[in-house]
Amino acid sequence: MSLLKVRDLTVGIGAAQPVDGVSFDLAPGETFALLGESGCGKSLTALALMRLLPAAARIERGSVRFAGDELCGFTEAQMRAVRGGRIGMIFQEPGTSLNPVMTVGAQIAEALKAHAGKADAERVVALLAAVGIPDPARRATEYPFQMSGGMKQRAMIAMALAGEPELLIADEPTTALDVTIQAQVLDLLRELQRQRGMAMLLITHDLGVVAKMADRIGVMYAGQLVEVAPRDAFFAAPAHPYSRRLFAALPEMATRQQRLATIPGSVPPLGTAFRGCRFADRCGEVLSVCRTQAPPWREYASGQRVRCHLETVSQTVKVGAGGTAPEPEETVTLLLEAHDLKVHFPIRRGVLQRAVGHVRAVDGVDLQLAAGRTLALVGESGCGKTTVGKAILGLQPPTAGTLKLDGKPHSGLAPARMQMVFQDPFGSLNPRMRVGAIVAEGRPDADVDSLLLQVGLTPEMAGRYPHEFSGGQRQRIAIARALAVGPQILICDEPTSALDVSVQAQILNLLTDLQERLGLAYLFITHNIGVVDFLAHEVAVMYLGRIVERGTVDEVLRGARHPYTQALLAAVPRIEGAASERLLVPGDPPSPANPPAGCHFHPRCPRATARCHGAYPETAVLSATHSVRCYFPD
């Protein structure tokens, strides 16, 4: 018997159907993952189930049966009893889903009252304890701003649990969190689900999260489900051409000297009129019938159901072997050296704005960058990665430390030598300027046409405005703008983290091509280990303003010696070996304004001893390239 039965659910916004005929079942205690790229209609599906659609959208047809009740026929009053009661929901952004002026305890009590009629402090504390918040009695009296992102997400989960839901809808519950925190929250969700026998509808774009959590998977594309499959069959051999390409586009899937498989083009915009298969324009296996007839559902012996004209020959996914040995180091010319770089931001308080302390965003960082090489800087949010990039570039004056460019001391900007590519493809282009003017910004006499061609765009695009471009195209424009001044060093600050997997692959390929052709050196700032493995030659791992481990990709990713690196790598949800026993780091990263004495990592470190509380460990050199700052490198 299924708990939730969705049939032909269709949501309309104006004339467009962002969710079109979605059908699936969810059994009690089961996790069904909706997987898809941005804009494919995942979140709208969830909101439609809860009847929480935005004002412009409406349910056009279809039925949602929940434990025998037809939710589409419920009145708003009846729905209110269902929401937060029998169905709980948690959202992506924990910061904005909690009321900032109410204590967390009061908000949970409110949820309890709404569904159980009464709320006593004991239940509130018990719920907070159940979601693993340490010292729950004190935390209940705190306000959301006093909590970290992971803690807020736990509080959200506690609120969703207040109504003893039979079904939990989780919309990208960990996307805004760091990997180590993401691992904690995912574990918590799985544990709670096991204890309470809840069903879970998990919405995500991350294949790793799906592999870790889901029992069954529904892949969405342009408003439709295109594949519904049990997890093992799906990860063994995804059947729909789109699913297969999603896998192939993952950076984990390729070795460094290969190009990533990409899906050409991007997701069709809302309101596109389709004839035939919606994926036809981007599909490599497209048949002539695909363009005229909507594909039928096909069922395979493995339990996979696929909406495709093509009979798929079972293809197993091969996970890339990881980095091959980095190419032999011949003449390495050092372009850039940073020594003991520090950036401290004063914390100002009071009327006179006196500095009462410092945020040690960057606290003594050494880096070397060689021509034609990529150094990846990895670490969790707030550890100072971006600040390192800006300090090197000259956008942020360093508090201390020296920079050498081509062996000569240097400070300030060096526009012709170093450029930066930013994270947010929407914030990094001036919406009021044409693409041509944007690209020529640093050098008015730049050859815009050839620059655009170089990054895979066409010259005619120069006359258009940024809003006409997709995220991936905008990132290409930003790269062209940086290349216009002919730099040798490109600082890339999470250039792909705002992009879909398929588009990320295109940008990563572009970056490797450019490196080969122009001999660029990249300082690649990221938190995505898969990207590091694909792109980087060397890796530096940052924790709280300091580099704790550095080395070649192989040394760091496959022979990590620092406990933090090991924990970071273990926390990354991987699509292979989903069930592997992993070591979880507890707690949240401390604030850089007030780092723990001694080794910054000791409050979370499983290996910490009294010695670690005393002084920050010096660098331990393990090989010519590999070094680590830990008393007990394992």
Partner 1 sequence: MKFVVLWSDALFFLLLAVAVASGIWASRVEHLRLSWRKVGQSQVGMAAATLLLAFVAVALLDSLHYRERLPGDKETYAVEVRSALDALLTGLRTRTEKTYSAPLATHSFAKETLDGEGRDFPRLKHGGAHLGENLAAHETDIAHKAVQGLGMGLVAWLVLWLLGAPLRRAAPHLAWSAAFATLLVLCLAAGAVAALAQGYHVLGTDKVGQDVLYLTLKSIRTGLLIGTLTTLIMLPAAVFLGLLAGYAGGWIDDVIQYLYTTLNSIPGVLLIAAAVLMMQVVIDMHPEWFATAAERADARLLALCAILGITSWTGLCRLLRGETLKLRELEYVQAAQALGVSGLRILSRHILPNVMHIVMIAIVMDFSGLVLAEAVLSYVGIGVDPNTISFGTMINTARMELAREPMVWWSLAAAFVFMFVLVLAANLFADVVRDAFDPRAVK
Ligand X SMILES: Nc1ncnc2c1ncn2[C@@H]1O[C@H](COP(=O)(O)OP(=O)(O)OP(=O)(O)O)[C@@H](O)[C@H]1O
- Binder of residue 121, out of partner 1, Mg ion, ligand X, none (CB less than 5 to 8 A by kind): none
What part of residues 279-298 is at the interface with ligand SF4 (CB under 6 A)? 279-280, 283, 285-287, 290, 295
| Residue 419 interacts with partner 1 (CB under 8 A): yes or no | yes
Q: Which of residues 383-402 bind Mg ion (CB under 5 A)?
A: 386
Nearer Cβ to Mg ion (245/385) = 385
Work out whether 605 is an interface residue with ligand SF4 (CB under 6 A).
Answer: yes
Helix axes 471-483, 501-518, angle to 10 degrees: 20
Q: For ligand X, which is the closer residue by CB, 223 or 592?
A: 592
CB of 442 to partner 1, least distance (A): 3
Q: Is 413 in the site for partner 1 (CB under 8 A)?
A: yes
Cβ atoms of 509 and 260 closer than 8 Å: yes
Selection from Mg ion, partner 1, ligand X, none that 393 binds (CB < 5 to 8 A by kind) is partner 1
Q: Which does 607 bind (CB under 5 to 8 A by kind): ligand SF4, Mg ion, partner 1, none?
A: ligand SF4
Considering the complex, state which of residue 99 and residue 430 has its C-beta at the smaller distance from partner 1.
Answer: 430
Interface pick for ligand X out of 266, 386, 515, 565 (rule CB under 6 A): 386
Binding residues with Mg ion: total (CB under 5 A): 1
Could you tell me if 451 and 461 are in contact, meaning their C-beta atoms sit under 8 angstroms apart? no
Instruction: List the interface residues with ligand X, window 582-601 (CB under 6 A).
Output: 592
Is residue 234 within the footprint of ligand SF4 (CB under 6 A)?
Answer: no
Nearest-angstrom CA–CA distance, 171 and 34: 9
CA 465 to chain CA centroid, Å, is 27
**Contact by Cβ (8 Å): 62, 223:** no
Nearest distance from residue 592's CB to ligand X, in Å?
Answer: 5
Beta strands in 199-296 (DSSP E): 199-204, 216-221, 224-230
Q: Binding to ligand X by residue 420, rule CB under 6 A? A: no
Q: What does the alpha-carbon distance between residue 151 and residue 90 come to, in Å, rounded to a whole number?
A: 13
Q: How far is the CB of 599 from ligand SF4 (least distance, A)?
A: 3
Confirm or reject binding of residue 478 to partner 1 (CB under 8 A).
yes
The CA–CA distances, whole Å, from 618 to 77, 340, 546 equal: 63, 13, 12
302 binds ligand X (CB under 6 A): no
Of 223-282, which residues contact ligand X (CB under 6 A)?
none
Residues 80, 82: Cα–Cα separation, whole Å: 5
Least distance in Å: CB of 286 to ligand SF4? Answer: 4
Radius of gyration of the chain (CA): 26
Q: Do 100 and 87 contact (CB within 8 A), yes or no?
A: no
Q: How far is the CB of 485 from partner 1 (least distance, A)?
A: 6
Q: Considering the rule CB under 6 A, would residue 497 count as an interface residue with ligand X? A: no
What does each C-alpha distance from 320 to 256, 258, 500 come to in angstroms?
9, 10, 20
Q: Are strands 297-299 and 216-221 parallel, antiparallel or unpaired?
A: unpaired
Q: Mark 304-342 as b/e (b = at least 16 C-beta within 10 Å).
A: bbbbbbbebeeeebebbeebeebeeeeeeeebbbbeebb
Is 431 an interacting residue with respect to partner 1 (CB under 8 A)? yes
Does residue 245 bind ligand SF4 (CB under 6 A)? Answer: no
Measure Cα distances from 100 to 39, 144, 152, 163, 181 in Å: 29, 6, 11, 22, 22
End-to-end CA gap in the chain: 50
Q: Of the candidates 302, 381, 619, 625, which one interacts with ligand X according to CB under 6 A?
A: 381
Residue 502 within binding range of ligand X, rule CB under 6 A: no
**Residue 281 contact among Mg ion, partner 1, ligand SF4, none, beta carbon within 5 to 8 Å by kind:** none
| Residues near ligand SF4 (CB under 6 A) | 241, 277, 279-280, 283, 285-287, 290, 295, 308-310, 562-563, 599, 601-602, 605, 607-608, 612, 617, 630-632
